[in-house]
Structures are given as C-alpha cells and as structure tokens.
Amino acid sequence: MLRIARIIGLAVVAAVMASSGAYAQEHFKRDLEQVSFVPKGQWITGVSVGYSMSNQDNYQFFIFEKVNGDTYSFKVTPMAMYAFKDNMAAGFKLGYERSKTSLDSGSLILDSEMTFDADNLYAIRSNFFAAAAFRNYISFGDNRRFGLFNEVQLQFGGGHSKFSNYTGSNDNRHLEGTFERNFSLNVGLTPGLIMFLNNYSAIEVNIGVLGFGYTHTKAVTNQVQVSRRNSQHANFKINLFSVQFGMAFYL
C-alpha cells in the first residue's frame, strides 16, 4: 500500500509541476524562411486555354490501319482568387471543354483472321465545371520571379455527349445514335510552376498528380433504350495529358 501511495504522490507532483511550467516544452521552430512571394490582399485573375487538333489520312499505326478522320479538343478555364494571407489564396474556377471525333473509316487488325472494320463514327462532347480552389505559394529562396504553387480543388461538373455510327451489313445498314448526360464530382491536387513576367503578370504551368472522382452517366440509345452507369477513379501518378498552360494577373 505504501508503494502505491508513493507512486500516486509522484504522479500528482509531476502534474503540478507540468501545470506550473516546470516541464513546459520549448516551441519547435523549423527555421524555414519564406519570402512574401504573393502578399496578402492581392487579387489573382487569369485563364488557361488548351487546344489540340489532328487529321488522319490513311493513317497506320501498330494494329490500326487505313484510318481516315479528324479530331479536335478545346478547353478554357478562367479563375479568380484572393490572397487572404501571405502566399495563401482561395477562390474559384470555371471551365468549359469540348471535343469532337469523326472517323470516316478504319480497321483494327489483331491477326490474319480477326479484323474489325468501322466507318462513319461520330462523337461530340461538351462539359462544364465549377471548382473551389486553394493555393499555397513557395518561392525559390529569395527569388521573387520564379516559384511553385500547390493547388487543391473541389470540382463539380456536368455535360452531354452524342455518339452515332452505321451498323449492319451492306444491304441493311442503319444509323444508331446515343445521347448521354453526366454529372461528376472530383477532388484533385495540382502542383505547378509560376514565372512572373513583371510585377502584375505571370505565366503558369500546372499538372494533375492526385485525384479522386465520381461520375454518373445516363444514356439513351435510339430514343428507346435507357441505361445508367456509375464510375469512380483514384489517380496517384503524374498525368502528362493534364498539363495546362495559363496566364495570370496579380492585382
């Protein structure tokens, strides 16, 4: 009993000394000095634009032969943010993207006895999205022209797609079409590089690295058949197809 009482007494003494500051832990400082790369109170506006186009004339690659058609894609993303603290900003982004694929003819050849032909395929997609965004800027030492930023986005979006193609034999060919509507929710991490051209304008390059997403799609084929699908994805790698270039203004 005396031993138990002694242990309890030591614990009480330790608690009293800790509360009085005798064992107060020294505040840890990492000693990382950061300059005011984007000062508090600045407004940040800008836009990112992407466009690609291709045309195939009897194109052949690996198992694809006699491909004739054309494609294009376009994406524009304006943004507005406010620096509520040095090197930290929050705001929103809006976006619109559109793509079209037209395949006049083409063949998929797996071997000498397995060949798939396709012709008159047409697809067009349009999507809109809005996103809440948060950025943290990091300068390269004392340099105020070059820096990095880390951006987190919560994105909501939706859109529609149209697909059509001819099916059946040569004597009984008919056109089939599918119309889709979709809704998506995404959370993403997009680090980037920024270079200031002067005190008020900068060029930005960012790339998607980490993301989680959910998409719900409703499809109607030939205005009769209705189908639905849900898909989820998680991305933990650098996506080179998500590279975006943009111009930003710091006011």
| 128 in Cβ contact with 110 (< 8 Å) | no
Token pair for 96: 């619109």
Nearest CA to 68 out of 94, 36, 93, 103 is that of: 103
Q: What is the mean pLDDT of residues 61-85?
A: 80
Q: How many CA atoms lie within 13 A of 251 on its CB side?
A: 9
The CATH class of the 37-250 domain is mainly beta
Percent of the chain beyond pLDDT 70?
Answer: 69
To the nearest whole number, what is the mean pLDDT of the chain?
77
CA–CA distance, 188 with 76 (Å, rounded to integer): 18
User: What is the 8-class DSSP label of residue 26?
Assistant: P
Q: What is the mean pLDDT of residues 44-56?
A: 80
Token pair for 220: 């109607």
Q: In the prediction, which pLDDT does 131 show?
A: 92
pTM: 0.69
- Give the domain ranges of the chain: 37-250
Which of 9-13, 82-86, 111-115, 199-203: highest mean pLDDT? Answer: 82-86
Query: Is pLDDT larger for residue 6 or for residue 188?
Result: 188
Q: pLDDT for 190-232, tens place per residue? A: 888 888 888 888 888 877 777 888 888 888 887 778 888 888 8
Least confident of 14-23, 29-38, 232-241: 14-23
Q: pLDDT for 123-173, tens place per residue? A: 888 999 999 999 998 887 777 888 888 888 899 999 988 887 766 666 666
Q: Count CB atoms within 10 A of the CB of residue 155.
A: 18
Q: Which residues contact 194 (CB under 8 A, 6 or more apart)?
A: 137, 146, 147, 148, 149, 202, 203, 204, 205, 248
Q: Is the pLDDT of residue 114 over 80?
A: no
